């Protein structure tokens, strides 16, 4: 049995106020695959992500991690397997120092002593943030916060990384740095974003959500070439695929 396969099967979720955020969502992510989930505001992306580590439980259908359905009995296992990086790093960094924040997950998993120290150091090293270990989260810049937030998840060695709008609010340099980082990870990845240029670089496959259903699922480049589809889902070609404003409309 492999933990690396994530299957989302006829998922439906209705919020208590009657909003049907997900109507029927099905797709699966294989080992090592990078999948982008894109869609307009309110398409159901965040609701979908909240199901992936059992924060929300489906009204119908199921999420399976390594062929095991996520339910109340195996939440802890699901949460270790699926590392979730939140949209707002301030939600994720709640401990007094960066070190303690990165150590929070591994400590809860029972690590201590040098094992813990090595684990934290390694996670921080991978996001190039060793020098931030002793700092308080509110003293960090947005880019640093984002990298540390990723380290807090990496330290639990998840099999699948889930990220909500990872490039949101970053300056071009920090964004570039993050893209480089994401490309280095060999985890299975699920990324939601409105930054389609980043999606183009990082994810080979894209799932388009629209009004709670999967509208399209295929190779990223193919999907981004389908202008009619994009328009229908309130999306637009990534800038790098549009014509240059100076040398005229050519595009890929």
Partner 1 sequence: MASVQGALLDLKRLDRLAGGDTPLHRLDPRAKVLATLVFIVCVVSFGRYEISALIPFFIFPVCLVSSGRLPARYLAAKVALVAPFAIAVGICNPLFDRTVLLHLGPLDVTGGWVSFASIVVRTALTVAAALVLTALTGFASICRALVSLGMPRTFAMQLLFLYRYLFVLAEEGGRAARARELRSFGRTGRGLASYASLLGHLLLRTWQRAERMHMAMLARGYAGTFPAAQHGSFGAREFLFVLFWSALCIILRLYNGAEILGTLVTGYLP
CA-to-CA separations, 97 to 120, 134, 143, 183, 202, in angstroms, rounded: 12, 6, 16, 27, 30
Residues 6+ apart with CB under 8 A from 91: none
Query: How far is residue 72's CA from residue 58's CA, in Å, rounded to a whole number?
Result: 11
Interface with partner 1, residue 91, by CB under 8 A: yes
Stretch that binds partner 1, among 18-26, 129-137, 174-182, 218-226 (CB under 8 A): 129-137
Containing H/E element for 47? helix 45-52
Interface with partner 1, residue 86, by CB under 8 A: yes
Stretch that binds partner 1, among 28-36, 63-71, 100-108, 228-236 (CB under 8 A): 100-108
Residues paired with 207 in a beta bridge: 37, 217
14-43: burial string, b at 16+ Cβ within 10 Å, e else = beeeeeebbbebebebeeebbbbbbbeeeb
Interface with partner 1, residue 137, by CB under 8 A: yes
Which member of 9, 20, 88, 128 binds partner 1 (CB under 8 A)? 88
Interface with partner 1, residue 40, by CB under 8 A: no
Query: How far is residue 245's CA from residue 241's CA, in Å, rounded to a whole number?
Result: 12
Query: How far is residue 92's CA from residue 249's CA, in Å, rounded to a whole number?
Result: 42
Query: Shortest Cβ distance from residue 56 to partner 1 (Å)?
Result: 9
Q: Are the C-beta atoms of residues 210 and 24 closer than 8 Å to each other?
A: no
Q: Are the C-beta atoms of residues 120 and 44 closer than 8 Å to each other?
A: no
Which member of 19, 94, 141, 221 binds partner 1 (CB under 8 A)? 94
Closer residue to partner 1 (CB): 23 or 126: 126
Interface with partner 1, residue 156, by CB under 8 A: yes
The binding track of 161-200 with respect to partner 1, each residue x by CB under 8 A or -, is: ----------------------------------------
- CA 16, 9, 82 angle in degrees (round to 5)? 85
Which member of 51, 79, 147, 187 binds partner 1 (CB under 8 A)? 79
Q: Are the C-beta atoms of residues 164 and 87 closer than 8 Å to each other?
A: yes
Query: Shortest Cβ distance from residue 10 to partner 1 (Å)?
Result: 24
Stretch that binds partner 1, among 29-37, 95-103, 167-175, 218-226 (CB under 8 A): 95-103
Which member of 14, 68, 107, 229 binds partner 1 (CB under 8 A)? 107
Q: Which stretches of the chain bind partner 1, using CB under 8 A? A: 50, 53, 55, 75-76, 79-80, 83-84, 86, 88, 90-92, 94-97, 100, 103-105, 107-109, 134, 136-139, 152-153, 156
């Amino acid at each position: 049995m492999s933990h690396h396969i994530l299957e989302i099967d006829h998922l439906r979720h209705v919020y208590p106020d009657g909003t049907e955020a997900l109507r029927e969502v099905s797709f699966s992510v294989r080992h090592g695959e990078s999948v982008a989930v894109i869609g307009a505001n309110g398409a159901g992306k965040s609701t979908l992500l909240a199901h992936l580590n059992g924060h929300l439980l489906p009204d119908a259908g199921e999420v399976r991690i390594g062929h095991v359905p996520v339910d109340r009995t195996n939440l802890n296992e699901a949460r270790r397997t699926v590392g979730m990086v939140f949209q707002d790093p301030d939600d994720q960094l709640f401990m007094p120092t960066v070190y303690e924040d990165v150590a929070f997950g591994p400590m809860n998993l029972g690590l201590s002593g040098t094992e813990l120290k090595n684990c934290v150091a390694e996670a921080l090293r991978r996001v190039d943030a060793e020098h931030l270990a002793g700092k308080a989260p509110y003293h960090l810049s947005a880019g640093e916060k984002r990298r540390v937030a990723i380290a807090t998840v990496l330290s639990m060695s998840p099999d699948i990384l889930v990220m909500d709008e990872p490039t949101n609010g970053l300056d071009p340099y920090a964004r570039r740095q993050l893209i480089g980082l994401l490309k280095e990870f060999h985890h299975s990845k699920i990324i939601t974003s409105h930054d389609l240029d980043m999606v183009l670089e990082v994810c080979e496959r894209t799932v388009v959500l629209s009004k709670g259903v999967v509208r399209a699922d295929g190779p990223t480049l193919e999907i981004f070439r389908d202008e009619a589809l994009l328009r229908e889902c309130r999306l637009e070609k990534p800038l790098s695929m549009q014509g240059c404003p100076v040398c005229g409309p050519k595009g890929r």
